[in-house]
Amino acid sequence: MDDSSTSSSRPPLSVRDQHHNHHHHHTEQNGNNTLQNRGWRRLIRNASPQLFTITMGSGIAALLFTQFPYPATWLYRLSIACFALHVILVLLLSLLSLLRYTLYPSLWTTMLHHPTESLYLGAFPVSLLSLSNLLASLCAGPWGRWAAYTAWGLWMLGSVLAVATTAHIPLLHFPSPSTAPSTPRPPPLSTVTPAHLLPAIAAIVAANTAAPIASALPPSPNHSHATSTIIAGYVLWGIGVPTSLLLLTLYFARLLLHGRLPSGAQAVIAFITIGPLNMGASGIVQLGSVAVTVFPPTTTGTGTGTGTGKSLDANTLQAVGILVALVLWGWGLVWLWWAVGNVSREALRSRRSSPQNVHLDDDDENDDDVDDGGPSGNSGRVHFNMTYWASIFPLGTLALSSGRLAQSPLLPGGMAFFRVVCAAISALVWLVFVGVGGWSIWDLWERGGRGVFVSAVVADLEGRERESEVDSERDFEGGGAGEEGNGNGKREGQGEGETETEEEARTLTNEESHEMRMRRKKGE
CATH number at residue 266: 1.50.10.150
Burial of 367 (0-12, 13-18, 19+ CB in 10 A): middle
pLDDT at 354 over 80: no
pLDDT of residue 45 exceeding 60, the answer is: yes
Q: Is pLDDT of 396 > 80?
A: yes
Q: Is 123 a residue whose pLDDT tops 80?
A: yes
Per the structure, the count of domains in the chain is 1
Of 193, 188, 184, the residue nearest 174 (C-alpha): 188
Q: Is residue 427 part of a domain?
A: yes
Share of the chain above pLDDT 90, in %: 43
Instruction: For residue 375, list its beta bridge partners.
Output: 382
Q: Quick one: pLDDT band at residue 101, thresholds 50, 70, 90?
A: very high
Q: What is the pTM of this model?
A: 0.77
Once rounded to an integer, what is the mean pLDDT over residues 209-235?
A: 89
Residue 482 lies in a domain: no
DSSP symbols for 383-396: PP-GGGGGGHHHHH
Q: What is the mean pLDDT of the chain?
A: 77
Q: Which residues of 457-494 are buried (b: 16+ CB within 10 A; e: fewer)?
A: bbeebbeeeeeebeeebeebbeebeeebeebeeeeeee
What mean pLDDT is predicted for residues 374-398? 72
Distance CA 71, CA 65 (A): 9
Using pLDDT thresholds of 50, 70 and 90, give the confidence band for residue 513.
very low
Who has greater pLDDT, 203 or 27? 203
Confidence of residue 341 (pLDDT cuts 50, 70, 90): confident
Could you tell me which of 310, 306, 330, 308 has the C-alpha nearest to residue 318? Answer: 310
Cross-strand bridge partners of residue 382: 375
Distance CA 66, CA 82 (A): 10
Q: Is the pLDDT of residue 307 over 70?
A: no
Least confident segment among 59-68, 278-287, 491-500: 491-500
Q: What are phi and psi of 519, to 5 degrees?
A: -65, -40
User: What are the b/e assignments for 281-316, b being 16+ CB within 10 Å?
Assistant: bbbbbbbbbbbeebbeebeeeebeeeeebbbebbee
For 193, list phi and psi in degrees, rounded to 5: -130, 170
Q: Is there a domain that residue 473 lies in?
A: no
Q: Do 208 and 244 form a contact (C-beta atoms < 8 A)?
A: no
| Residues ≥6 apart with Cβ < 8 Å to 178 | none
DSSP conformational letter for 51: G
Give the residue with greater pLDDT, 414 vs 10: 414
Helical segments of 67-144, H only = 73-103, 106-112, 123-134, 140-143
Mean pLDDT of 490-503: 44
- 41 lies in a domain? no
Q: Is residue 103 part of a domain?
A: yes
**249: pLDDT strictly greater than 90:** yes
Say if residue 182's pLDDT is above 70: no
Is pLDDT larger for residue 13 or for residue 466? 466
- Nearest Cα neighbor of 396 from 332, 334, 330 is 332
Question: Amino acid identity, residue 454?
Answer: V
Residue type, 191: T
Q: What is the sign of the dihedral through the CA atoms of 346, 275, 72 and 419? A: negative
Structural domain includes residue 185: no
The verdict on residue 403 lying in a domain is: yes
Cβ 409 vs Cβ 386: under 8 Å: no
**Cβ 237 vs Cβ 209: under 8 Å:** no
Higher-pLDDT residue of 476, 42 = 42
* Cα–Cα distance for residue pair 358/269, rounded to 1 Å: 22
* Domain membership of residue 94 as a residue range: 47-167+191-353+380-454
Residue 485 has pLDDT above 70, yes or no: no
> What was the pLDDT predicted at 410?
85
Q: 399 or 378: which carries more pLDDT confidence?
A: 399
Q: Tell me which of 190-204, 297-311, 324-338, 407-421 is least confident.
A: 297-311
Read off the pLDDT of each residue in 325-333 and give the average, rounded to a whole number: 95
HSE-CB for 254 with a 13 A CA cutoff: 19
Alpha helix positions (H), 261-309:
274-294
- Per the domain annotation, does 440 fall within a domain? yes
User: DSSP 3-state helix, strand, coil percentages of the chain (rounded to 5)?
Assistant: 75, 0, 20
